[in-house]
Structure formats: structure tokens, C-alpha cells
A and B are shown apart, each in its own frame.
Chain A
Amino acid sequence: MGLRKSCSGSAAPAVLLAIVLLILVGSTLYFHIAKTWWFPPAITPVGHEIDQQFMITLVATGIVFVLAQVALAYLVYAYRDHGQKARFVRGSHTLEVIWTTATLIIFVGLGVMAQHAWGQVHFGGPAPGALQVEVTGQQFVWNFRYAGPDGQFGKLNPKLIDASVGNPLGLDPNDPSSKDDIVSPDLYVPVGRPIELLIRSQDVIHSFFVRELRVKQDALPGLVIPIHFTTTTTGDFEITCNQLCGSNHYHMHAMMHVMSDADFEKWEQQQEAQNAQ
């Protein structure tokens, strides 16, 4: 009894709680409006669409967040024990129906809106004439393979995999179409042209991620998973592995160079010349 009494009467905990909750709301709003830490600019049309969906979700959930935290702060302050009688209320059927319907519409509505961007990434294939690049993850490097002038990827034979002799993918030299394949430790793509990446893994699961593309895709051993995009800006972007793949997971890093058509052709020719030697 004594303990229970000692907790009543004082406004201090109520005020303190209200202040902490308001600081939480204030700082969260500040960092989101000032965009102190934020996404890098997207470089694909679908990336912009995803950003837009993010902002819509942010506004919707932001309003709920502010209202709920402020309501909590208000309730603990307003109804702190100062000797009043508690109201005897068992609930309200009307309120239950209202807030259930409202959250259902908001949450599912957001989900339905988001499907378009997801479909853009995953449902359709790339535009015709897309440049195909095979992306292979292995502990702890990425390799990028281009079909070369013949437009055909050569056969791979896992028995031949040996990075020390310069064959990290196990290209089969007996297959004529493998002769002109280009294998590169970084990804080079021309700006404005549809690109299709064929993502695979040679050992455990990895995950291909470029922030500016807004796309992440696991590289799953035993499966080739295609993703596609068309960039709108040239530049150099970091590729990281996002699925825990072993000790040096943190070090599995490569670059994506988005170049003008002319630069890309020049790079391709250099690679082909090297292959010919």
C-alpha cells in the first residue's frame, strides 16, 4: 500500500516521460526533414519511383508516429494520479471499428501502391537489345562476364575453377564461344542502355547491391537470377555483398562504372584485345 501511494501525486515522472517522448518525436522529425543521413541520388527511373514510394510511406507512417507518441505523452501527463477517480470504461465498439478500418486501409493501401515499382523490377524482362552481364559471387570477390563479340556466353565447368591460373569462373577452353568472353573484377556498363544482370553464385549465398540502383538481389548457388535496369547518369558506384557469406564478407566489394557509349566501346575493345593476346 505504502509503495503504491508513493508513486502517486507526483507530476515529475509524467512530465519527464512527456519530455523524452517529445524529444524523440522532434529529433526524428528533424533528421528526416533535414535529410542529415539519406539515400544517395537514384540513377534509374525505377529508382526514382521507389524513392517516391518511400516518401509516401514516410509521410503516412510519420503522421501515425507523431500522433501516437504525442498521444502517449499527453495521456501519461493528463491522467497521472492526482487523486482523481479513474473512469470506468470497458472499451468502445465504434472506436475499434474506426481504427481497425483506418489502419487496414492505410497499411494495405501502401502495399498496393508499392507493387508497381516491384513489378517494374521483377515482372517484365529487360527491353530488347539489353546488354547481358553475368555476375558471379564467390568468397569474397565479384566477377563480371561479358559474352564478347559473338554474343554467346561460353560454357562453364566448375572443375576448371582456379583463380590462380586466371580462370575464376571455370571457363571451358574447349567451347569456342568461351574464347572471346570478357571476365572483369568490376562492372562496366554504358549509360542509357538497358542492362540485364544474370546473378549467380559459385559457393554460398551472396547478395548484389548497388545503392544508386535501389536494387538488391541474392546470388543463390544453383540458380541464375536476372535483374535489369537502365541508368540515366554516368559515374562510379560501389557494389557490396549484403548476405553474410563468411569471414571476409565485409571485404567483398567491387565498382560499377557507368560510362558513355563511346567510353564503354573503348573499354570493350581493350578487353577484347587483351583476350586475343
Chain B
Amino acid sequence: MSSHAHSVHHAEAPKGFIRHYIFSLDHKIIGTQYILLGLSAVTIGMILSVLMRIHLGWPNAHIWGFANGIMTPEDYLRTVTMHGTLMVFFVLTTVPQSGFGNYFLPIQIGAPDMAFPRINMLSFWVTFLAMIVLLAAAFVPGGAPISGWTAYAPLSSIGEIAGPGQGLGQTLWVVSIALFCGASLMSGLNFLATTIDLRAKGLSLMRMPLTVWGWFITACLAVLAFGVLLAACILVLLDRLAYTSFFIPGGLSVSGQLLNHSGGSPLLYQHLFWFFGHPEVYIAILPGMGIISHVLSTFSRKPVFGYKAMVYSLSAIGFLSFTVWGHHMFISGMSPYSAIAFSVLTLVIGVPSAIKTFNWLGTLWGGRIQFTAAMLFAIGFVSLFVTGGLSGIFLAQPALDLYLHDTYYVIGHFHLIMGVAAIFAMFAASYFWFPKMFGRHMNETLGKIHFWCTFVGVYSIFMPMHYLGYEGDARRYSSTEAVHYMTEMHAVYLFISIAAIITATAQLFFYWNFFSSWIKGKKADQNPWHGTTLEWSVPTPVPHDNFGGKLPIIYRGPYEYSVPGMADDYVPQHLAPELVARAK
């Protein structure tokens, strides 16, 4: 394997802009490409969420970009769909795994590159194409689809008759997601092969950094989950274009017109979708868990508390994530008896998640905590993970889901635990690894201002959504005007909208910091945080050939901080025992 990787990795970088920066085979360039793609997606996704919040807070406001400045009910749902799809697929799935994972997995395991650099390049460009196809849906006649990121059949599979955007827009959406599935499958295989085959000498599984564990388990999930979504996409496409009836039962009358389908099952779509969809939640968060463990340990100057428990709990979450999809379907009409199994399994998956939280707290305990911007985001992650995790204990009980399902409670829950927590992990990773990636530091003061605004901001946005859920307010409503009890809650909607606008604006600190530091940030040395893992053993910025042809040998575990009897408070993984300075 490694000879193959070597063969594409000449000691010198390819000459020419296109081979170097566009169609690059270098995992570092590809990782950066994924991160920039994710940054564009998150920018669009965030602007769309602000537009929704403006509309909900001030229903009569004129909004730029819509015909006559009016956001119609279908415009609102188009925005919902595009926001969700961009965020879930092109941000949460893409950046922590394909972005940071691509960049740092090979370096952290002492490999010159990914196992299959050409497939790696192909994965990126197919993902890029998928995003172009998705965005194109907004510009075709009928516009973007209105069926949300879940695209439930039959709304998504009977064509234009179901509503505006359900024609060509929905077809493009399905094609985009199918492409994305293909790219994720290729990328997942690549991560697996790389982790299994290309680890440096001495890097046993139990010496891998938790980031590598996070990426590895996520790749297992991606390989098993995306194939199922791909199947679902193909069947929807056939229902739409070839008049099959996989998801469409007989006798449907839509807008007074009898459909010529029979024998399909809308529930089948939901089973396929959520068989993917629930592991997907963990695909978004497991790399983040790895990153947070890594950052907490570095800036507490302590080994990760319970390293093995962290590995086992990651694996347990990965395994269990395939057994809980039914908790999205308690009220769908599936057998109420199966709800019991899904409910108990869902509560059981809470246990490894709790184990992780306790071990993060254990890592902080007795440490020497340094409040860098990266560390602040890591601490924020722990807080958000606790809050978002506990609301899941309610939703896991079908008796309570009867009320809370499809209300704002669910929106608050999954944004905290899947959306914002994962985003906090991406911010932590950015502030932490930026010096290694670009050879310059991000500005710490701006980073801290960014943290405080964002931390207070996201709680102000998403906590009140739980209260809207208590009041029974339904999600995906373009207006509250038809429902008396929802209209009464307007003050809360307004508060959330104001918080969202402020928080979104505060992200300008990050954009400014990211791009200005890239150009003129403070120069970084090789190991600015005194880290122990391999990314800190290579020059800054990392040369084209990561280890200059001389692969490292690993002598110890990944988090040897504050080891008694040593001169420094960190002992790098690659340092030969005879070179480790002892305390005098």
C-alpha cells in the first residue's frame, strides 16, 4: 500500500497552478478545498436562515432577493429546503470529515498521503459538482424544492403537481444528493484504507489520536449509510422519471387529479432515509468529538481522561447509530410495537454519549487550562453537547414524542447537538490547526470576541425554541397567522430572530480573521501549542511531501502531557525515548 502512495508522491510538488491547486492529488490541498467549499455552503446556508428569521420576526418585511420583496409560503419552504440541505450535507458532513480529516488524518498517522489520492481528488470534484447541481435547483423554472432536506415521499416523488419547486427543482435536488452519496462512499473507503494500511511503524490502534478514531469510525458509518441513501435517491428518481411506484400508493388524488400509480409505500422511503439519516447525525458529530478531545487535552496540559473509554464509546455510538433510525418515525404510522425497541436503543445510545461528556469533564479536572480561542470553542462544545443531548432524552420516549415531534422543540434539540456543536468543533479545529495549515496564527483577540458572541448567541436562538415546542408550535410553518396559539408566541419568534441576526453578523469576525490571518497573520512556528501528535512534528506550513520521505516511528500514546519526571510538559509521540529530556 505505502509503495503505491509513494509512487504518486514525488518529493517535489507538481509544477503549474492547475495541477497544484485545482486538480491536486495532495490531501492537504484537497482538505483545504473541502473546507473552502464548506465555507461557501455555510455562508449561503446562514444567509438563508437569516432570511427565514426576518420573515418570521417581521412577516411584512420586504426581503431582498424575492419577487416584489415578498417571501411567499413556497419561497419560505424553498429556503427551508436549501438551508437544511446545504448545512447537513455540504457543511456538517463535508468540513469535519472530508475537510479537516483529509488534511490531518494522513499526517497524524505518519502517512505521506491518503491511500488513493486520485479517488480523493475525484471525491472532492464530485462533491463540488453535487453542490453546483443543488444550487442550480434554485434557478430553474419552479425554483428549489419545498419538501425540506428530508424530501419525504410522496411529496418529493409525484412531480410538479405536489407544489411549486417539485418539478425540475426536486429532480436536481435528488441528483445532487445521489452525487453526494457517491462522493461520500469513495471518500469513506479512502479513509478506511488509509487508516488501516498506512499507519506509521509503532502506531497501534490504541496509540491513535482520538481525532483519527473519530474520522475512522465516521468513515465506517459513511460507507454503510450513504449506500442506502443512494438507493433511496435512485428509487425516488425512478418514481419521478420512469413512473414506477416504489413510494407512491394507489388511489392518490392530488389537486383533484387522480394519479396513475399503485402499490408503493411512503413508509419505505422513511425507513431508507432514516437508516441513512440517523448515522448521518453521528457522521456530523463524531469527527467533532475527536477534535474536542484533542483540543481539550492539549490546552488542559493533561492526557485525555479515559482514553480507552473514549475509543469504546465512539465505537459503541457508531454501532448503535444503525439501530435507532425508527425514533424519527414514532408517529409515522409504523408499528407502535417497534417504537419500544427503537426507544430503548435510543436511550442506550445516550450512555456512550454521556461517557464522553464525563471524560471531557475529567480531562479538565486537575488541568492547567489555557483559554485559547480553540479551547473556548471546545469548552462551549461540551456545554452545548450536554444541553442538546438531554433534550434528546425526551424525544427518545415515544409517549413524549407524540407531542413534541415536528415542533420547534425538535429544531432546538438538533440544532444544538448536531448543528451548533459540530460547528463549534469546526471553529475549534480552525483556530487550533490554522497555524499548521497556513503557517500563520489567527488573531486570538478576534477569536475570543467571536466565541463570546457565538456562544451567547446560539443559546439565545435555540433555547427559546424548546419553549415554542412546549407550546406546540409546529416547524416548517411559513407563517403563524392561521394558528391562534402560534400567533400568541410572536414575542418569542421576534426574540429568536433578533438573536439570529446578531449572531450571524458576529460571524464576520471569523471571516475577517480567517482571510486576513491567511495573508498577514502572525507567523507560526512548528509546534505553537506544544502538542504531542505528529502534525506538530512536521514543518509549518506542511511541505508537499509531509515527512520528506522519512516516515516517523511512534513510541508512545497520543496525549503524553505533564508526564512526571520530564523536563517539558509534553512528550511527542515520535520522539525516541533516548531523546526525551528528563527533569533535572
Chain A residues packing against B (C-beta within 8 Å): 1, 3-4, 6-8, 10, 13-14, 16-17, 20-21, 24, 27-28, 31, 36-40, 49-50, 53-54, 57-58, 60-61, 64-65, 68-69, 71-72, 75-76, 79-81, 84-92, 95-96, 99-100, 103-104, 107-108, 110-112, 114-118, 121-123, 138-139, 158-159, 161-164, 170, 202-205, 207, 209, 211, 214-218, 220-223, 225, 238, 240-253
In the assembled complex, the CB of B363 is this many whole angstroms from the nearest CB of chain A, namely 9
A104–B301 touching, CB < 8 Å: no
A89–B361 touching, CB < 8 Å: no
Given contacts A95-B362, A114-B400, A246-B163, contact A86 B302 (CB under 8 A): yes
B444–A76 touching, CB < 8 Å: no
CA of A220 to CA of B478 in the docked complex: distance in angstroms? 23
For B165, the closest partner residue in chain A by CB is A247
A107–B393 touching, CB < 8 Å: yes
Query: Can you list 19 A-B pairs, Cβ within 8 angstroms, ordered by A?
Result: A4-B372, A7-B372, A75-B369, A76-B364, A76-B379, A81-B371, A87-B366, A92-B362, A209-B406, A209-B474, A211-B472, A216-B405, A221-B248, A223-B267, A238-B484, A242-B405, A242-B406, A244-B77, A244-B155
A220–B267 touching, CB < 8 Å: yes
In the assembled complex, the CB of B484 is this many whole angstroms from the nearest CB of chain A, namely 6
Given contacts A79-B300, A90-B305, A114-B400, contact A202 B252 (CB under 8 A): yes
A158–B251 touching, CB < 8 Å: yes
For B486, the closest partner residue in chain A by CB is A240
In the assembled complex, the CB of B582 is this many whole angstroms from the nearest CB of chain A, namely 15
A40–B154 touching, CB < 8 Å: no
CA of A66 to CA of B365 in the docked complex: distance in angstroms? 18
Out of B73, B366, B525, which one reaches A248, CB within 8 Å?
A: B73
CA of A40 to CA of B155 in the docked complex: distance in angstroms? 32
Out of A20, A38, A139, A214, which one reaches B254, CB within 8 Å?
A: A139
B400–A54 touching, CB < 8 Å: yes
Q: Could you say which residues of chain B place their CB within 8 Å of the CB of A92?
A: 305-306, 362
Chain B residues packing against A (C-beta within 8 Å): 72-74, 77, 146-148, 152, 154-155, 158, 162-164, 248-256, 258, 264-267, 300-303, 305-309, 331-333, 336-337, 339-340, 343-344, 346-348, 350-351, 354-355, 357-359, 361-362, 364-372, 375-376, 379, 382-383, 386-387, 390-391, 393-394, 396-400, 402-403, 405-407, 441, 444, 448, 452, 455-456, 459, 463, 467-468, 470-472, 474-485, 489, 492, 522, 525, 528-530, 561-564, 569
In the assembled complex, the CB of A131 is this many whole angstroms from the nearest CB of chain B, namely 21
A87–B383 touching, CB < 8 Å: no
A251–B482 touching, CB < 8 Å: yes
Given contacts A50-B399, A87-B366, A96-B306, contact A36 B485 (CB under 8 A): no
CA of A24 to CA of B355 in the docked complex: distance in angstroms? 23
Q: Could you say which residues of chain B place their CB within 8 Å of the CB of A246?
A: 146, 155, 162-163
In the assembled complex, the CB of A134 is this many whole angstroms from the nearest CB of chain B, namely 15
For A112, the closest partner residue in chain B by CB is B344
B393–A117 touching, CB < 8 Å: no
Out of A10, A138, A249, which one reaches B476, CB within 8 Å?
A: A249
In the assembled complex, the CB of A249 is this many whole angstroms from the nearest CB of chain B, namely 6
Q: Could you say which residues of chain B place their CB within 8 Å of the CB of A110?
A: 347, 393, 397
A205–B154 touching, CB < 8 Å: yes
Out of A20, A209, A221, which one reaches B249, CB within 8 Å?
A: A221
Given contacts A3-B372, A111-B397, A250-B482, contact A204 B154 (CB under 8 A): yes
Q: Could you say which residues of chain B place their CB within 8 Å of the CB of A164?
A: 256
Given contacts A4-B530, A57-B400, A96-B306, contact A203 B252 (CB under 8 A): yes
B351–A103 touching, CB < 8 Å: yes
CA of A88 to CA of B366 in the docked complex: distance in angstroms? 8
Given contacts A86-B302, A86-B562, A218-B332, contact A96 B309 (CB under 8 A): yes
A247–B303 touching, CB < 8 Å: no
In the assembled complex, the CB of B307 is this many whole angstroms from the nearest CB of chain A, namely 7
B452–A99 touching, CB < 8 Å: no
CA of A27 to CA of B483 in the docked complex: distance in angstroms? 28
Q: Could you say which residues of chain A place their CB within 8 Å of the CB of B308?
A: 91
CA of A108 to CA of B472 in the docked complex: distance in angstroms? 26
Given contacts A50-B403, A79-B300, contact A203 B351 (CB under 8 A): no
B358–A95 touching, CB < 8 Å: yes
Q: Could you say which residues of chain B place their CB within 8 Å of the CB of A75?
A: 361, 364-365, 369
B483–A238 touching, CB < 8 Å: yes
In the assembled complex, the CB of A104 is this many whole angstroms from the nearest CB of chain B, namely 5
Known: A220-B333, A225-B333, A242-B474. 11 other contacts (CB 8 A): A38-B470, A49-B399, A57-B393, A80-B371, A85-B562, A88-B564, A99-B354, A107-B347, A122-B336, A161-B256, A247-B146
